Structure 1
Amino acid sequence: MVIPIHDINPLRRRPVMTWLLIAVNVLVFVLFTPVSTAVMGLHRGTSPNVCEQRRFFEEWGAIPKELMTDKQLPVADTGRIGLNPDGTTGCEVSSPPTFDKNPILSVLTSMFLHGSWVHLLGNMLFLGVFGNNVEDRMGRLRFLFFYVACGFVAAYGFSFAQPDSRSTLIGASGAIAGVLGAYLVVFPRARVIGVVPILFFIPFWLPAWLVLGFWFVLQYLYFAGIGVSSGGAVAYGAHVVGFVFGALVALPFVQRLRAAGPDPRRHAPRTRWVRGTRW
């Protein structure tokens, strides 16, 4: 897995919308999301914060079963510890739920939820590296609409594949995958500096088509169950759907998006790598 750090791709203006999306994601995590030490690997077993986080994600996250039926599930966690029918301790559930939920709006709110700092920072890194150029070419409002649309298509695409799943979908990765797909189509030969963990984090300059192409293939293999035992807790299918959707949306407008960028000759004196940003 190549971890991108920076790309050499000139901008016309500041990526305000990308920065705003990153800021909102961070603020939602810091100010509103209950942090579960169990999710972060620091505690095992049921604890109050585990149950509180489960209830929070069930209320504000997207659940495939709810999206496919457009109805809220009849049972949900209360956020408290209780006794299970077999006498063991677990998170208490309530029927009917203690909160009202709109399944369609839950897709939007789920895009700004993350389960841990690792989950958050990983998503924000990819958005920060690749989102700025896509925003620069699309324009701020179009980019925001595109970002949200990718998130919706990713969530519903995953739900269509697993319509009976009651697992909670959270995270911006479906929307960000769409941004990566658009970036690959518009800037396939842009230079990206990345590191590979197994090579002791030594930085490499690589073309975007290799970095993002490898990322997509990896997500597809995980989605297909190759290389993972059970798919883990990551919605790889949403990544695949979001990426393909983003690429398909950008494909008809490739020439227009490329022409909307800055003149590479204006940036030539600043770096010897500019030639690598031409498409």
Structure 2
Amino acid sequence: MFLPLHDGVPLKNMRIPVMTRLVIGICIAVYLFSRFGSLGNDAMVAGLGLLPSVLFGHEILPGGYPFLPVLLTPISSIFVHISLMHLGGNMLFLWVFGDNVEDAMGHVRFLIFFILCGVAAGLTHAYMNATSYRPLIGASGGVSGVVAAYLILYPRVRIWALFWVGIPLHVPAFGAIGFWIALQIGAAFFGIDESVGWFAHLGGFVTGALLVPLMRHRHDPILARLEARELSVSR
């Protein structure tokens, strides 16, 4: 597999990635409450998770579930994680890539971007598993959108990452993320580990790639240079 560790890209438009840290903080708080709160982990998953069959009206949960209107569960499910490893992996990706994407978009637009990617990821999973009664939870769909945005904004930046059994490598972002997306595609279409929402990852990634031109600052130096080159060629 692939775990990012560090990219070293400095922030140019802000001092602190407020929304990236806010999302991480909310996810950690929800996880701690699910583990040590009065409701318990199973109740949190059932009450906030996205169940495709419930979302599409094929089945109904017992009284009191979900905790929110069912149409809001594609949002609430983003912030729920089943284990420390699940939480840690998603938050590590968000920590490494989120700050620079937020820097390129601004605080508010980044938060909107993240939630839209997460919702699109959940709906993609639900569409592909319309009769499933298994809850979808986790920030990986939103994180996948952030990864797509990072790939477009900083393709040649070199990042430190762990591959396979913990081998650290310093590689270009397009190589590391290309390897990651190839794993997602393979796992989604060949049915590897059905407990993971692979199609949610793909849905979030595609949505992120499509939204980047709309959500980033118009003066972003990297994409601005690319656009200038395209204009010079078209002339």
- TM-score normalised per structure 1: 0.72
Give the match's secondary structure for 1:62: coil
| 1:99/1:187 CA distance change after superposition, 3 Å | same
Whether the aligned pair in 2 keeps the contact of 1:138 and 1:257 (CA below 8 Å) is no
Residue identity matched to 2:184? Q
Counterpart position of 1:156: 123
State the Cα distance separating 1:165 from its structure 2 match.
Answer: 1.1
Counterpart position of 2:28: 26
Counterpart position of 1:83: none
Counterpart position of 1:220: 185
Distance 2:216 2:23 in 1: 24
Distance 1:33 1:254 in 2: 34
Segment of structure 1 superposing worse, 170-179 or 158-167: 158-167
State the Cα distance separating 1:258 from its structure 2 match.
Answer: 3.2
User: Is 1:144 paired with 2:132?
Assistant: no
Give the match's secondary structure for 2:6: strand
State the Cα distance separating 1:52 from its structure 2 match.
Answer: 4.8
Distance 2:91 2:219 in 1: 23
State the Cα distance separating 1:67 from its structure 2 match.
Answer: 2.2
Counterpart position of 1:236: 198
Larger radius of gyration: 1
Residue identity matched to 1:143? F
- TM-score normalised per structure 2: 0.85
User: Is 1:4 paired with 2:4?
Assistant: yes
State the Cα distance separating 1:138 from its structure 2 match.
Answer: 0.1
Distance 1:171 1:143 in 2: 18
State the Cα distance separating 1:27 from its structure 2 match.
Answer: 1.1
RMSD: 2.4
Whether the aligned pair in 2 keeps the contact of 1:182 and 1:250 (CA below 8 Å) is yes
Give the match's secondary structure for 1:33: helix
User: Is 1:194 paired with 2:161?
Assistant: yes
Counterpart position of 2:53: 65
Segment of structure 1 superposing worse, 201-210 or 176-185: 201-210
Residue identity matched to 2:201? H
Give the match's secondary structure for 1:195: strand
Q: How does 1:92-103 map to 2 (within 5 A)?
A: 97-99=63-65, 101-103=68-70
Aligned residues: 219
Distance 1:153 1:145 in 2: 12
Structure 2's unaligned 5+ residue stretches are: 224-235
| 1:181/1:217 CA distance change after superposition, 3 Å | same
CA deviation string 1:99-153 (max 9, x = no partner): 4541121121111100000000000000000000000010000000000000111
Structure with the higher helix share, 1 or 2: 2
Q: How does 1:1-279 map to 2 (within 5 A)?
A: 1-12=1-12, 13=14, 14-30=16-32, 32-34=33-35, 52-69=40-57, 73-76=59-62, 97-99=63-65, 101-198=68-165, 201-225=166-190, 228=192, 231-251=193-213, 256=218, 258-259=220-221
Give the match's secondary structure for 1:167: coil
Give the match's secondary structure for 2:159: strand
Distance 1:214 1:9 in 2: 21
Whether the aligned pair in 2 keeps the contact of 1:114 and 1:170 (CA below 8 Å) is yes
| 1:254/1:98 CA distance change after superposition, 3 Å | closer
Whether the aligned pair in 2 keeps the contact of 1:34 and 1:56 (CA below 8 Å) is no
Structure 1's unaligned 5+ residue stretches are: 36-48, 77-96, 262-279
Whether the aligned pair in 2 keeps the contact of 1:7 and 1:190 (CA below 8 Å) is yes
CA deviation string 1:20-70 (max 9, x = no partner): 11111111111x2137xxxxxxxxxxxxx9x9533331111111122223x
